[in-house]
Structures are given as structure tokens and as C-alpha cells.
Amino acid sequence: MRSAFLFSLLFTAGLVVAKPPAGFGTPDTEITLGTKHGQMRFDQEALAVAPGAKVKITLKNTCEMLHNWVLVKGGTGERDRVSGKALQLGAQSMVKHFVPDDPAIVASSQIAMPGNTVEVYFVAPKEEGDYPYVCTLPGHAFTMVGTLAVSKNPKGALDRLNKARPQVRAQWPLLVTNKPLLQRAFVQNSPARSICVGLPGGVNYLFDAETCAVQYGWTGAFLDVGPDRKGRGGRHCKILGQRFEVGAQGALQVGDGKPVFEGYSRLGTPELFYRVGNARVSQLITLHAGLAGGILKRGLQYTFKVAGAKGTVTFKLNPEQVLAEASAGKWNADKTALTLSAKEAGEFTVTLLPKN
């Protein structure tokens, strides 16, 4: 839906093809950068050029989503700040190709449409160092990242970057590409009836089928199931990324009904089903990206559908852990509970961004 909206905007805005700036001359270095289909990744995550080199980057978008390329100075913190700023462009987003005005930006491309190519011409900084690059389209900035080294010895710098790249150290990693993965497993310090779900875009969560509530999320790679599949198995699987809290305070409350798990659908993004008293609940959990304290963060969005509730429905959470917003209902004063009428609970969303 969102991408359809972007498409129409883009076509009305028109497409400007970048040309080398007047007097740029012949580039010293030409790099073709691709996108990995369905994986929300650049095909190269380490690049290197000489200081002051005239660089031409060709971004070849072989994926069905829109992408751009933004080079930033000042480290990954600046990269995330700039990515957050890109989300606040509002109506200007498409016109500005999701590139905000910011002194940290060294170079940036226009949006590359699916199957299309865009070019960026820039002069590399004189100062040696590592410069992060990123795609600033919404939700892409977590995984579509890389580092461009500016070095007098570009080959050596490239080797260094490639060696330093974090490797997934796992016995039996389950890695998410363009489809969500779901795995029931024992995970350290988690309930025995855990359901782990990895979503494209690098957000994962753990749902407890006993209490019918998400326990926590994590960003990055999904799950190492080696401890369950090597030797006798039965040991704790490991989450491979950075855990974040979701303010979990149990399942939706409908009267004093006890939640009973009923299963899930795996048509597309997993949709979880449970019963609370007489009410039937479906909970679709998707990636949510937004700003927390000006920094772009990944969190979760819950889309609840509650059928058959007799009275009000309450969603509880710990507001110290998350920034929460709801599409319906009423928060109490300290924002620990969202109360909805049975009608409002028919379908509503709650978005959660971790504060940690």
C-alpha cells in the first residue's frame, strides 16, 4: 500500500537523471552497487576509495522496492540520526528523495525505482576514515547499510573492513530473507512454549503461547537453533541480535477470562490466534520503525482484531520500556493501560518503540 502511494507520487514529481557536475571530468573510481532482492541489503557492504578521489557510484536496484544511497560523515550514530531525520520530511519525502538537508551528508543519490539505475558523482573527503552509507527509505536503514573507507591504501582498507564485518557466529542459524520465519523453541530465560518469529527488515519477536503475549523483540539476525539440533538437542536456542523490551504486561484483557492459545496462520506474516474468555483475538505483528528521542528505531506494531468481547478490552504495558501509540481507545493517565470499547477493539493497532 505504502509503496503504491510512493509510486504515484514519484511519477507525478517526475524523474531527474543525475549528470556529472560541470567540470567534474572523468571519475577516478567507478563503483556499481546493487541491492539484494528481498533481503533489504546492499550487495556490497564495504567500499574503499582514495582521499579526494572523484567517485561515481552507480546504484543498480534489482529489487522490487525503492531505494537510495546516502553517505554520511561522523560514524553510525550520525547515520542513524540522519536516517531519523529522513522520516520527518513528510510531504517533502519524495521530492527530496528521502534525503534531508544535513551537514553530515557527504553525498546522496536520488531514489532508484525498481529495476532502475541512478548515479551519484562526488569528490571523496580529504580526511581518511570510515564513512557509513545507508538507504534512508522508511524501514530500510537498519539493514541497508555499509561502510565506505577513505584511505590512501583503498585495497588494504577494504580488506580490513571485510575482516571486521560482524559474522553471525552460530551452529545452525535460521536467517530471514524475504519471508518471515517462525520457529517454536526453547530460548534462554524465556517461557517453554515460546514462538520465535523473524520478520524481513531485521526485527524479531518472541511470543509466549502460554500467556498469549509478546515477551520481547530483538533486532538483527534471527535465531541459532544449533543447541536444539546438535547432539541430543533440547538446549536453549540463541537469539542472534540485540534484544529490546516491548513493555510486556501479559495478554489483552477481556473481563477476567484466561487466555488460551489457539494457533497461528502462516499465510504471509504470521497472525496469532487466542481466546480470552468468549472473545476471539487475532494479533498480527509487523515491523514498526519510528523515532524515539530523535533516533530512528525499530519496534513492533500489533494489529489486534477482537471478536465477541462483551465488555471493554484492555491492553496493558510498561511505559518505562516503550513509546506506545494506539489507533483507538483511551490511555489512562500514566499510560500503563489502553482501554477500548468492544466496538473499538474490533480492529485497532498499537505501535511500540523501545526506549532501550
Partner 1 sequence: MKPIQILFATLALAMVATAQPRNLPAGYIVETVNIPKEITLGVGGMAFMDNNILLICTREGEVWKFNTQDGQWELYADGLHESLGLWIDRKKGDVYVMQRPELTRLVDTNKDGKADLYQTVNAGWGLTDNYHEYTFGPVRDSKGNFYGTLNTSLSWPGWAGSDKWDKARVHDSKMGRAAKYRGWSFQITPQGKFVPYSMGMRSPAGIGINGQDDIFYTDNQGDWNETSTLHHVVKDRFHGHPSSYYDHPKYIGKDLNKISIEEYRKLRTRPSVFIPHGELANSPGEPVFDTTQGKFGPFAGQIILGDQTRSNLMRIHLEKVDGEFQGMVVNFISPLQTGCIRGVFGPDGSFWVGQTGRGWGSVGGKQFGLERVRWDGSTTPMAIHHISLTKTGFDVHFTLPVDAETGADPANYNLLEYEYQYRPQYGSPKSQQKKLVPTSVKLSKDRKVAHLTLPLNAEKVYQFNLSDKLRSYAGADIVNRVAWYTANRLLK
Catalog residues that contact partner 1 under the rule CB under 8 A: 179, 181-186, 192-193, 209-210, 228-229, 231-236, 261-267
Strand order in the sheet with 242-245: 181-184, 194-199, 203-208, 213-219, 242-245
To partner 1, the closest distance from the beta carbon of 174 in angstroms equals 9
Report DSSP letters for 11-26, one per residue. HHH------PPTT--S
State the Cα angle at 201 between 118 and 95, rounded to 5°: 40
* Distance of alpha carbon 110 from alpha carbon 69, whole angstroms: 8
Residue with cell 529490546: 244
Q: Do 248 and 206 contact (CB within 8 A), yes or no?
A: no
Q: Which is nearer to partner 1, 130 or 228 (CB)?
A: 228
- Measured from the CB of residue 277, what is the shortest distance to partner 1 in angstroms? 17
What is the C-alpha radius of gyration for the chain, rounded to an integer number of angstroms?
Answer: 23
Q: How far apart are CA 340 and CA 65, in angstroms?
A: 36
Report which of 161, 180, 133 is spatially closest to residue 284, judged by C-alpha positions. Answer: 180
- Compare residues 166 and 268 and give the one whose CB is closer to partner 1: 268
Q: How far is the CB of 307 from partner 1 (least distance, A)?
A: 17
The H helix count followed by the E strand count for the chain is 4, 27
C-beta of 211 vs 336, nearer to partner 1: 211
Task: Closer to partner 1 by CB, 59 or 223: give it.
Answer: 223
Query: In whole angstroms, how close is the CB of 265 to partner 1 at the nearest point?
Result: 5
Q: Which of 243, 238, 217, 218 is nearest to 226 (CA)?
A: 238
CB of residue 2 vs partner 1: minimum separation in angstroms?
25
Partners of 47 in the β-ladder: 148
Nearer to partner 1 by C-beta: 236 or 355? 236
Q: Other CB atoms closer than 10 Å to residue 17's CB: what's the count?
A: 8
Of 146 and 200, nearer to partner 1 (C-beta) is 200
b/e burial code for range 264-284 (CB count within 10 A of at least 16 → b): beeeebbbbbbbbbebbbbbb
Whole-angstrom CA distances from 218 to 144, 193, 232, 325 are 17, 18, 27, 20
CA atoms within 13 A on the CB side of 293: 5
- The minimum distance between CB 229 and partner 1, in angstroms, equals 6
Q: Which is nearer to partner 1, 62 or 183 (CB)?
A: 183
Q: How far is the CB of 318 from partner 1 (least distance, A)?
A: 24
**Shortest reach from residue 27's CB to partner 1, in Å:** 40
Q: Which is nearer to partner 1, 305 or 316 (CB)?
A: 305
User: Which residue, 123 or 175, is less far from partner 1 as judged by CB?
Assistant: 175
How far apart are CB 233 and partner 1 at their closest, in Å? 6
